[in-house]
Structure 1
Amino acid sequence: MEITKEILESILDAYSYEIVFVDRQHIVRYMNKTAKKRYGDRVQINQSLFNCHNENSKKKIEEFLKRADNGEDEMFETYNTKTGEREFFVPVRDSNKHVIGYFERHEMPWDDEHPEIPVFEYWKHRR
């Protein structure tokens, strides 16, 4: 079976958390079904992410991009007390390892005492 764009979109649409992929110029290039449902008209494909983010968010995103350019991968962003979700900044790299964009990943914490612990660390140390 060939993995087509349609199959990849179906996989991303099956994911229960929102995925909004943004390029290096902070233009939204892709949203999965969950993101479209959650954000509605506030976030639009081919529009700047900063149409719905404030100046403080812009500074944080620029800092995450610098860290990604220096080799960091997924980075803990914050624990959102309103939604109970932890949020991660995830750089997306091309085949030459250059950061071409990013998305923010949301999930419920595995450990309420330490929401910054990445999933792979949780699974390595779970009881």
Structure 2
Amino acid sequence: MDQNVIMKGILDSYPYPIVFVDSGYVIRYMNRYAEYHYYKERGYAGLIGKSIFDCHSREESKERIRSAFEQMKKDGKERFVGVNTRNLRIIMQPVRDEEGTLIGFFERFELNLHIEQR
């Protein structure tokens, strides 16, 4: 079985959006939940091959992405970005090639189970 078919199947089975962005901030992959979220719910089209900043209009968001990626370059650790309006945590995870070179990151969403105590 083709490894690309297997990987696409795995990523599409994850029940939340996953977006891979290369080191030049270009979107290279979206799983089916990301396509639904960005294309159907948010009204974007054709994001593959475009800058991640095309769907982040606020300067604060752009700077948060740049800063998190720069920190990942230094320490290789994932970064918590925030919680969206659907109570999903947004996390940026660094991705390295077989030689260990940082080739980008993927943005993943997951249910926020943390409840703040007041």
**Common fold: TM-score over 0.5:** yes
Letter in 2 for 1:32: N
The equivalent residue for 1:121 is: none
The equivalent residue for 1:66 is: 70
If asked which structure has higher relative contact order (CA below 8 Å, sep 6+), I would say 2
| Secondary structure of 1:87 counterpart | strand
Runs of 5+ consecutive residues of structure 1 not aligned to the other structure: 115-127
TM-score by length of structure 2 reads 0.84
Equivalences, count: 112
Letter in 2 for 1:10: G
1:27 Cα offset (Å): 0.8
The equivalent residue for 1:42 is: 44
What aligned pairs does 1:76-87 form with structure 2 within 5 A after superposition? 76-80=80-84, 82-87=85-90
Cα separation, 2, equivalents of 1:76 and 1:3 = 33
RMSD: 1.8
The equivalent residue for 1:102 is: 105
1:111 Cα offset (Å): 2.6
User: What CA deviation, in whole Å up to 9, does each residue of 1:34-58 have, x standing for no partner?
Assistant: 1111111515111111111122222
Letter in 1 for 2:69: L
2:92 is the alignment partner of 1:89: yes
Letter in 2 for 1:58: K
User: What CA deviation, in whole Å up to 9, does each residue of 1:55-74 have, x standing for no partner?
Assistant: 22221111111111111311
TM-score by length of structure 1 reads 0.79
2:50 is the alignment partner of 1:51: no
The equivalent residue for 2:27 is: 28
Cα separation, 1, equivalents of 2:97 and 2:30 = 19
Segments of 4+ in structure 1 off by > 3 A? Answer: none
Contact 1:69–1:98 (CA under 8 A) maintained in structure 2: no
**Which of structures 1 and 2 has the bigger CA Rg?**
1
| Secondary structure of 1:42 counterpart | coil
1:4 Cα offset (Å): 1.3
User: What CA deviation, in whole Å up to 9, does each residue of 1:97-127 have, x standing for no partner?
Assistant: 222111211111233238xxxxxxxxxxxxx
Pairing partner for 1:75 from 72, 79, 82? 79
